[in-house]
Amino acid sequence: MVSCKDVSDRADALLDGELGPWDALKLRLHLAICEGCRRFVKQLRQTRDLIRHSARTEAEDPPEAMIDQLFARAGAPGDDPLPGPRPDG
């Protein structure tokens, strides 16, 4: 069974078409039942498209290392983007 962590770890490969048919199918089945992962993959796709589009307007596609660096800075799904005390807790 594919977990949400598996999806977050392999979403790039899925979007890039780098997974074999069986692995892609397993991830897509998970996406069919998990709304959170569907949102994550949709946001990842939109972010990648936006980065590529904005880079094309200025020059060529950004280097893959730059894209990877931006995603690493953004954190994994579920990471708290604003650490520290919360007003509600």
Domain range list for the chain: 4-74
pTM of this prediction?
0.60
Q: What is the signed CA dihedral for 69, 72, 77, 80, rounded to 10 degrees?
A: -120
pLDDT for position 82: 47
Instruction: Tokens for 6, please give them.
Output: 């598996």
Tell me the per-residue pLDDT of 27-82, one tens digit each, with 9 for 90 and over: 999 999 999 999 999 999 999 888 887 766 655 666 777 778 777 777 655 555 44
pLDDT for position 62: 63
